[in-house]
């Protein structure tokens, strides 16, 4: 005899299998070892991953080892959801909390025998190396188009002509040197704590770098360009500032590189080395930004060009934001961090 559920009339029918709620995928993170006792098995953690927005259960990881890292959990999650590769995943303990680091260990997190993690999709990712190479190759190529005065820029009578002002040629050498240096540092010096960034950011960054490069190059290489007010003396002073700051910037990058072994994410307090250019570490947390701003100030004085000055101002504003953030993280992470240091400008900012 079939008993109808309470409140159901003649129209009630048994639900089809396809209409029943679908359970979240279960991935076994390990198989029981023969001869182990049930107590050893109980030490493993069950991990459920929920969507941070909808709270929908996306995945259930069975028998995860307590010493498993967040990076390993991301790899397990990818098995059931291949469209979300590890670099796209942000796992957190709270839906609106901070993302957990890949190196975080499960047993050191405030979770019980069943850990609930919340997932957010970071979007399509691109490697930082690719981002930097794209950002820096563009200005180098664009500036040279204006320097050689290719057709359709200044008019046919100026096609492939050359400026009669020495400062124009010197500015091209300095600009090209700066971006060639950046490209080489990206390939052989920099070590990135994060391997990727959102793909959408590359369009914003390239618009900034490429757009300013075209704007500066148009005026500096224009046939009607006039040299700086104080002539050769102004150019020589500005060139000295530019060269010193470029050497300083490279020295800081090398010092930061030596702090982090290849393949490591270890963070240490940077200190001055025997290289005099690194002594700025005594006064600021991010001397690489200090030297970078100084380079563009020198370039602006050399060319006496308004777009260069605006580019320097915008760059200084952005680098100040980055420097303050890094300075705060140093203070938070290291109790013995040198108290006299400022983020980017000694004694001021």
- Which domains occur in the chain, in start order? 49-68+90-121 (3.10.20.90), 126-333 (no CATH)
SS3 50: strand
Evaluate if residue 37 carries a pLDDT over 50.
no
pLDDT in tens, 77-114: 999 898 898 988 999 999 888 888 888 888 888 887 78
Using an 8 Å Cβ cutoff, are 206 and 137 in contact? no
**Quick one: pLDDT band at residue 42, thresholds 50, 70, 90?**
very low
Using an 8 Å Cβ cutoff, are 286 and 327 in contact? yes
Q: Which of 65-69, 198-202, 241-245, 261-265 has the lowest mean pLDDT?
A: 261-265
**Residue spans of alpha helices (H) in the chain:** 38-42, 70-80, 128-147, 166-188, 200-220, 231-259, 287-303, 306-333
pLDDT score, position 40: 43
Pairing state between β 89-92 and 114-121: antiparallel
Evaluate if residue 243 carries a pLDDT over 70.
yes
Evaluate if residue 163 carries a pLDDT over 60.
yes
The model's pTM: 0.80
Task: Report how far residue 305's alpha carbon sits from residue 341's, in angstroms, rounded to the nearest whole number.
Answer: 33
Pick the more confident residue, 23 or 282.
282
| DSSP character at residue 69 | B
Residues shown for the chain: 349
**Residue burial 13-30, b: 16+ Cβ < 10 Å; e: rest:** eeeeeeeeeeeeeebebe
Crossing angle between the packed helical segments 231-259 and 166-188, to the nearest 10 degrees: 0
Burial grade of 261 (CB within 10 A; 0-12, 13-18, 19 or more)? exposed
């Amino acid at each position: 005899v079939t008993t109808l559920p309470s409140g159901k009339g003649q129209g009630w029918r048994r639900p089809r299998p396809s209409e029943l709620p679908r359970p979240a995928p279960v991935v076994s993170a390990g198989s029981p070892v023969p001869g182990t006792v049930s107590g050893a098995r109980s030490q493993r953690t069950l991990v459920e991953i929920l969507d941070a927005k909808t709270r929908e259960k996306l995945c259930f990881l069975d028998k995860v080892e307590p010493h498993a890292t967040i990076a390993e959990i991301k790899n397990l999650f990818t098995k059931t959801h291949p469209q979300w590769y590890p670099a796209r995943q942000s796992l957190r303990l709270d839906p609106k909390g901070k993302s957990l680091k890949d190196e975080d260990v499960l047993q050191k997190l405030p979770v019980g025998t069943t850990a609930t993690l919340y997932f957010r999709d970071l979007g399509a990712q691109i490697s930082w190396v690719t981002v930097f190479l794209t950002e820096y190759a563009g200005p180098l190529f664009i500036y040279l188009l204006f320097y050689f005065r290719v057709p359709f820029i200044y008019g046919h009578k100026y096609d492939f002509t050359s400026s009669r002002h020495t400062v124009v040629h010197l500015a091209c050498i300095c600009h090209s040197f700066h971006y060639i240096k950046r490209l080489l540092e990206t390939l052989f010096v920099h070590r990135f704590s994060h391997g990727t960034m959102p793909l959408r950011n590359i369009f914003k960054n390239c618009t900034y770098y490429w757009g300013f490069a075209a704007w500066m190059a148009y005026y500096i290489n224009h046939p009607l360009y006039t040299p700086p007010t104080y002539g050769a003396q102004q150019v020589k002073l500005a060139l000295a500032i530019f060269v010193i700051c470029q050497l300083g910037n490279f020295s800081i990058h090398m010092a930061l590189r030596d702090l982090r072994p290849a393949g490591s994410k270890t963070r240490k307090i940077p200190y001055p080395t025997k290289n005099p250019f690194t002594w700025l570490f005594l006064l600021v947390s991010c001397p690489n930004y200090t030297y970078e701003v100084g380079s563009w100030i020198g370039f602006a004085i050399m060319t006496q060009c308004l777009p260069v000055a605006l580019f320097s101002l915008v760059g200084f504003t952005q680098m100040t934001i980055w420097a303050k953030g890094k300075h705060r993280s140093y203070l938070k992470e290291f109790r013995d961090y040198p108290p006299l240091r400022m983020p980017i400008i000694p004694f001021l900012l």
